[in-house]
Structure 1
């Protein structure tokens, strides 16, 4: 699935991310040269001014594929800058960049100019989320025997190549044939993969949160402690725009960003759900803002 999403970037001229990713996937030999070449290519991609960014983003919303490509290319350096901050945490830089590029693609597809924030602010959340989840998944893989970890990577690569070639998911037998192993071994690898992927699955408490979402981070400033001061409303809108609509609405009501603060019970009546459900959504939204605050100039949170 990862390779499928990454390959979608390759449907435009300019930087061929798919080509670079596939080179890396096929061989670790020369990976340093590959990433240097990639850096050279993305340095040639022009950055967009604020006005250009809005114009291109509006075209993306209308389904313009060339505008989508332009938006992605102009922000590839943002991905690299963020990925570098996660080095020495279990994944090589080229893998971090690949994951970050997937997050960038998602942000381009979800971004709305009407949200009133800079695209880089919005994209940073999605890039960091993609990178951090990859690191957590890798942490689980590291505990596996090295040959199993390598075979899992090979299975993903073979599956991605098959999907791009035939436009469908391969069967266990088809994967086994390409890897030169027995079908029962592929079933074993898939069971292991499902356990690793379960960290991204929603928890069974009705919150829509994943295990990764529940991982605590006590070293980050609580952004809503500063938001209530009311200064720099444009920055507040930018942060809130990274949230889902219901999360944004609930925080606005809860902290009085558009009027007087409301209780959990009152907000619950507005939305037709229990106060506990509102509390869960509030907690999830605050966690997202803490993650964003860690990356988006943490000192500026105190100035709001």
Structure 2
């Protein structure tokens, strides 16, 4: 259990436990307000802390300064422990309460990140959730305020007070229309209302649930359509990517077009969220005019012009389909720096935009912006690969034994160049050809080995399999002969030495080898004695084997 770092805060928490329940609830709220404004680098007087929490300034207070870092830790502990005495129920509070799992899913972070945020001042209360289980909970407004203050992004919706009666009535009225007239499911309904009222979907769902509990005869949520299951959603997304229109899919699955639209949008968002994008950061990317500066780099270095000497250096056995690619001009140093900077900049923009994307409030224009950055990065990567294909071809010729194998290796080279382009760091001052050469050599060595194994299997056929079978049979016969010789030699050893060798190597009735400790317990001696007996027995076996060979 966590302990207080400041004795004065531990005493304050103990005294708060004697206050009436409504006073304790107010003091917890005031403690959360104080926790949000604490600066870990500053020190705070004890009377200031007591007054901010209890609204009472005692006559005699020790002139104690509390370190901000320790105060931040103890305030979080005070809020959690004192709130446990209130028996707060999540479904009875005035705003949504999030669990640690909810925060991880909503923000795409790990449990360790949430725990780190708690140490840095994220207030957490002890709350009883549906089912009667007591867990740590976070008020939605507290999470939004914490993230906003630290620039870590916010949950959907701004920090706003709970909706009043007029806003609640408008939400219920619009929710009823969406459920009855548009056939929306609960999730889609909450998303559309969240966008309309500028709140999070979770806050909207909380309002609708409270309305249904208070007025069960006018309940709204039961009117919503059933959600689209995962199998149907996958089929809809696949059909859309195959060319089907939203109208045709809505007619086929008897769903409103808005529901089909969001199913397809969710599918694209999930694919983009799973996309692994690696980039090398640059201070240039964080300037306000980074786009203009990166674009200006592209005009500083141009591709080298192709010359007739390139045709002279082209290998005579170069396949016709590769001759045009081989004429692709090489990159100058300036052009290479410009292309790799643009490549990493577009990947940087993609990662930043994906972090800001809220799946519940996302629109197609945001998804298209993400796809645009990926498309631009892919085009630049392809340009880099094409400019270095002659390097891949020259190295492939050293490993290939024919035109067919050369083309297979060249395909492996394109894959290796693509991966190398994603991993290359232009800021280190090296040329890409130096980095790519090692990647190509490794890829070709592995590919050539696989090709030769496949060729040997296809050409050898049954004869090679028969040879392998004969070799294995001969080896098995030799092993059987060796085992017989070992058994004959073991029979000539003293009983204790024979038992030690048989037990340690799994011979003569021992199904598995036994370690020295177990052998020592079986023989009533120490493990060191077992080792010495084994060494003496092995030496005796070697002497007997040498004598047998001489005879």
TM-score by length of 1: 0.35
Higher RCO, 1 vs 2 (CA within 8 Å, ≥6 residues apart): 1
Query: Which structure's CA Rg is the greater one?
Result: 2
